[in-house]
């Protein structure tokens, strides 16, 4: 049970406890005067779940049986795609331990909670050093499909497997009467023939569409799942792109398939056939829940990524006779939670953001001299790559020897609604993610048939402008591209909301 006030004093504790390094981290003036209020999103007496979470290296047979296993795989609790389930309204009390040889943090992607547990060094916490621990207090106010991952050397650690899934369950969901839930985690592996990991960050990849895996995989395996479901039954297919790089065009070979949630948030159901290009385009970090109606006995539903020249099979659903009769397909609508703070579009302030290459970026804050005692702590906790290729509004999150922590993109007012127009003037697709908020995707300058929906990550194509709206929550929140080499090479900024 942690009250709002206790959250703040906990922050003081964390900073005090980590001694000089942490104190130094609070020092860069770019962090601003004082700290925003860390606002809890559940009542202090909300039921708690305790979780011991350990990040460590392990060995996993990624190439399949009979092939050499991959060492230095990174996992939570030694389980690839560790999957947590918790009821809506509970609070996860996480005792996290870092047994990796490198610093890390845990970010709870898509969760609305106090920013001091958002896992972003250095603006919400210092990094957790090898052998270190950190207590995360993670309220789960909204049902949905979330995930968690490090926010430090993301390209390397996520690339080697460090991703967990988190389902926040609404008891009302059971009444929807799905016959089966099937999870698809799309994530490729960058391996050589001997099963060893290749370098995750390459200049060529980071400056273009990213470094792709050499082995495509679903749920960790190069062999796509084949699952049985009742003929004429209803399957909830829950898909996440957990890859560092790959963008997919999610689709299937039947007409009776409808999107019911985007990034875990309920949406008014729409047929995949009515989405732009009859597919749901998803970049890294994006999730989609699709209601698939099974065909008659013996028939199959094939779910594909249609983005590649040869469609890539993600899953086969096989219809087995359970004595069901065919009925008309009516997509199941999930309830939109009342607690979700929706933006007030009419009263919103408007902000424009350009996603660019770093050629046009300018240094705003002067770099720290390399012998400054802050420099080392800052480098370690910033967890970035060595090069800068990208920028937002001419500002890059500094990389390598460039020790600037950029000033915030904007200082926003807590409780005020904002419309962000995000324009991509680069040649590559960027899935843009805002921490700590669920936003509404209002419109796209290119995809006229795109429905409005709630999300935490949105694709912005080359020469496209996408408008999103949200009600700002107090905190320091990053806004970045979720192609991990892009974020590690400059495509990240932050908002200070106070």
Given the rule CB under 6 A, which residues bind ligand C2O?
Answer: 107, 109, 149, 151, 285, 433, 435, 478, 480, 482
Q: Is the Cα dihedral 53, 154, 58, 78 positive or negative?
A: positive
Under the binding rule (CB under 5 A), the answer on residue 294 touching Cu ion is no
107 binds, among Cu ion, ligand C2O, none (CB under 5 to 8 A by kind): ligand C2O
430 binds, among ligand C2O, Cu ion, none (CB under 5 to 8 A by kind): Cu ion
CA 285 to CA 109: how far, in whole Å?
8
486 binds, among Cu ion, ligand C2O, none (CB under 5 to 8 A by kind): Cu ion
Which residues, including other chains, have CB under 8 Å from residue 328's CB and lie 6 or more apart?
none
Which residue's Cβ lies closest to ligand C2O?
Answer: 109
Distance of CA 82 to the CA centre of its chain: 15
Length of the chain: 498
Under the binding rule (CB under 5 A), the answer on residue 430 touching Cu ion is yes
160 binds, among ligand C2O, Cu ion, none (CB under 5 to 8 A by kind): none
Question: ∠ CA(472), CA(439), CA(108), 5° rounding?
Answer: 85
Q: Which is nearer to ligand C2O, 206 or 229 (CB)?
A: 206
442, 419 contact by CB (below 8 A): yes
| Number of residues in contact with Cu ion under rule CB under 5 A | 4
211, 204 contact by CB (below 8 A): yes
- Name the CA radius of gyration of the chain, rounded: 22
238 binds, among Cu ion, ligand C2O, none (CB under 5 to 8 A by kind): none
480 binds, among Cu ion, ligand C2O, none (CB under 5 to 8 A by kind): ligand C2O
Q: How far is CA 238 from CA 129, 288, 333, in A?
A: 34, 6, 15
174, 332 contact by CB (below 8 A): no
Q: Which of 184, 483, 484, 492 binds Cu ion (CB under 5 A)?
A: 483
Q: Which stretch in 306-314, 422-430, 447-455, 464-472 sits in contact with Cu ion by CB under 5 A?
A: 422-430
139, 163 contact by CB (below 8 A): no
Q: 329-342 in b/e burial notation, b at 16+ Cβ within 10 A? A: bebbebeebeebbe
Q: Which is nearer to ligand C2O, 258 or 285 (CB)?
A: 285
Q: Which stretch in 231-239, 260-268, 371-379, 426-434 sits in contact with Cu ion by CB under 5 A?
A: 426-434
Under the binding rule (CB under 5 A), the answer on residue 281 touching Cu ion is no
285 binds, among Cu ion, ligand C2O, none (CB under 5 to 8 A by kind): ligand C2O
H/E run at residue 108? strand 107-109
Q: Which is nearer to Cu ion, 139 or 210 (CB)?
A: 210
Take residue 76 and report the two structure tokens written for it.
Answer: 């939570």
236 binds, among ligand C2O, Cu ion, none (CB under 5 to 8 A by kind): none
483 binds, among Cu ion, ligand C2O, none (CB under 5 to 8 A by kind): Cu ion
| Minimum CB–partner distance for residue 94 and ligand C2O (Å) | 16
Q: Which is nearer to ligand C2O, 107 or 440 (CB)?
A: 107
| Minimum CB–partner distance for residue 320 and Cu ion (Å) | 42
Under the binding rule (CB under 5 A), the answer on residue 433 touching Cu ion is no
Q: Which of 38, 442, 481, 492 binds Cu ion (CB under 5 A)?
A: 481
Q: Which is nearer to Cu ion, 430 or 471 (CB)?
A: 430
Q: Which stretch in 42-50, 223-231, 451-459, 475-483 sits in contact with Cu ion by CB under 5 A?
A: 475-483
Question: ∠ CA(201), CA(203), CA(206), 5° rounding?
Answer: 65
Comparing CA positions, the residue from 229, 355, 395, 349 lying closest to residue 301 is 229
H/E run at residue 496? strand 492-497
Under the binding rule (CB under 5 A), the answer on residue 486 touching Cu ion is yes
Q: DSSP assignment, residue 420? A: E
CA 114 to CA 248: how far, in whole Å?
32
Query: Residue for token digits 């993610």?
Result: 433
Q: Which residues bind Cu ion (CB under 5 A)?
A: 430, 481, 483, 486
């Amino acid at each position: 049970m942690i009250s709002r006030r206790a959250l703040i004093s906990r922050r003081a504790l964390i900073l005090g406890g980590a001694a000089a390094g942490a104190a130094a981290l609070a020092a860069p003036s770019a962090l601003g005067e004082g700290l925003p209020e860390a606002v809890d999103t559940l009542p202090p007496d909300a039921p708690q779940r305790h979780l011991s979470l350990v990040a460590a290296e392990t060995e996993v047979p990624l190439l399949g049986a009979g092939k050499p296993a991959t060492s230095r795989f990174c996992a939570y609790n030694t389980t690839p795609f560790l999957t947590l389930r918790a009821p809506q309204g509970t609070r996860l009390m996480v005792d996290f331990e870092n047994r990796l040889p490198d610093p890390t943090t845990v970010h709870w992607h898509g969760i609305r909670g106090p920013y001091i547990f958002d896992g972003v060094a250095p603006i919400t916490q210092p990094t957790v050093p090898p052998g270190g621990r950190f207590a995360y207090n993670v309220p789960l106010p909204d049902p949905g499909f979330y995930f968690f991952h490090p926010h430090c050397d993301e390209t390397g650690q996520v690339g080697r497997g460090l991703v967990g899934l988190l389902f926040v369950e609404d008891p009302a969901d059971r009444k929807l009467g799905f016959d089966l839930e099937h999870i698809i985690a799309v994530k490729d592996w960058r391996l050589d023939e001997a099963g060893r990991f290749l370098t995750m960050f390459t200049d060529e990849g980071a400056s273009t569409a990213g470094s792709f895996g050499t082995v495509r995989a679903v749920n960790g395996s190069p062999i796509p799942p084949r699952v049985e479901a009742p003929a004429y039954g209803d399957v909830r297919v829950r898909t996440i792109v957990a890859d560092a790089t790959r963008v997919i065009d999610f689709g299937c070979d039947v007409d009776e398939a409808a999107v019911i949630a985007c990034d875990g948030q309920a949406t008014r159901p729409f047929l995949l056939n009515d989405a732009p290009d009859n597919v749901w385009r998803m970049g890294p970090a994006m999730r989609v829940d699709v209601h698939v109606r099974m065909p008659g006995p013996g028939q199959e539903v094939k779910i594909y990524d249609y983005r590649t020249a040869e469609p890539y099979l993600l899953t086969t659903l096989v219809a087995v006779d359970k004595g069901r009769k065919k009925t008309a397909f009516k997509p199941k609508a999930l309830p939109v939670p009342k607690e979700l703070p929706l933006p007030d579009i009419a009263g919103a302030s408007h902000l424009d953001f350009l996603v660019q290459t770093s050629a046009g970026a300018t240094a705003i804050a002067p770099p720290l001299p390399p012998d400054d005692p802050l420099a080392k702590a800052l480098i370690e906790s910033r967890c970035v790559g060595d090069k800068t290729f990208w920028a937002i509004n001419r500002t890059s999150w500094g990389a390598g020897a460039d020790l600037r922590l950029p000033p915030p993109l904007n200082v926003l007012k807590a409780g005020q609604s904002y419309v962000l127009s995000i324009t991509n003037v680069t040649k590559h697709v960027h899935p843009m993610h805002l921490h700590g908020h669920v936003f509404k995707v209002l419109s796209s300058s290119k995809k006229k048939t795109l429905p409005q929906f709630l999300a935490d990550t949105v694709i912005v194509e080359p020469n496209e402008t996408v408008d999103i709206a949200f009600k700002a929550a107090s905190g320091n929140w990053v806004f970045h591209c979720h192609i991990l080499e892009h974020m590690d090479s400059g495509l990240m900024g932050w908002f200070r909301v106070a």
